[in-house]
Amino acid sequence: METNKIIAAFLVAGIIAMLAGFIAHKTIQPETLAENAYKIEAIAPAAAGAAPAVAAAAEPIKDLLAKADAAQGEKVSKVCSSCHTFGKGEPNRVGPNLAGIVGKARGSAAGFAYSDAMKAKGGSWDADSLNEFLWSPKAFVPGTKMGFAGLKKPEDRAALIKWLQSQK
């Protein structure tokens, strides 16, 4: 007799739980979103034989550079400081020392092992080339060892370049 009471108690508890869930589901309707809260941008795969999509280029920062704040650029440089040093005479880290980088020849920091792609790029670092490189290092120098994804905000790139110009 006691076993029947225990089994009946479990059955009644299960029925009450199912009934509560049914009532809750019918009375409370969650609001559906018109659009996703987080947009996930995916690149559609190219059709067989189709040319790959052309990547957008970095926005020009000439106007932003004129009014950029070097102090803000120093804050943005904290992202870079995990791999680079900025003071004159400081050692290279995972990346080369960036003191005096503006106007300097690409791939020319003493004692740093640059990728073949960076060595082959040639030229020197001016504001426009730094803008392109900081936007997407892999797009500017395909084959670079730099694993950084890039700075997407043109204001951040302008501020960082302004600050780098002051680091002689």
Tell me if 118 is assigned to some domain.
Answer: yes
- Mean predicted lDDT score pLDDT of the chain: 88
Report the pLDDT value the prediction gives residue 53, as an integer from 0 to 100: 52
pLDDT in tens, 95-154: 999 999 999 999 998 899 999 999 999 899 999 999 999 999 999 999 999 989 899 999
Give the count of domains, the chain. 1
Is the predicted pLDDT of residue 44 greater than 60, yes or no?
A: no
Report the pLDDT value the prediction gives residue 104, as an integer from 0 to 100: 94
3 state SS of 162: helix
pLDDT band at residue 57 under the 50/70/90 scheme: confident
Tell me if 101 is assigned to some domain.
Answer: yes
Tell me if 53 is assigned to some domain.
Answer: no
Integer Cα distance of 66 and 12 in angstroms: 75
Tell me if 48 is assigned to some domain.
Answer: no
Backbone phi and psi for residue 105, each to the nearest 5 degrees, phi listed first: -65, 140
pLDDT band at residue 51 under the 50/70/90 scheme: low
Smallest CA-to-CA distance from 77 within 168, 164, 165, 166 is with 164
> CATH number for the domain including 114?
1.10.760.10
Is the predicted pLDDT of residue 90 greater than 60, yes or no?
A: yes
Q: Which residue range is the domain that position 117 belongs to?
A: 62-166
Residues in the chain: 168
**Sequence-separated (6 or more) residues with CB below 8 Å from residue 122:** 106
Tell me if 141 is assigned to some domain.
Answer: yes
100 and 168 Cβ atoms separated by less than 8 Å: yes
Tell me if 12 is assigned to some domain.
Answer: no
Percentage of the residues of the chain whose pLDDT score is greater than 90:
68
Residue type, 133: F
Of residues 53 and 71, the one with the higher pLDDT is 71
Tell me if 124 is assigned to some domain.
Answer: yes
Tell me if 7 is assigned to some domain.
Answer: no
pLDDT band at residue 40 under the 50/70/90 scheme: low
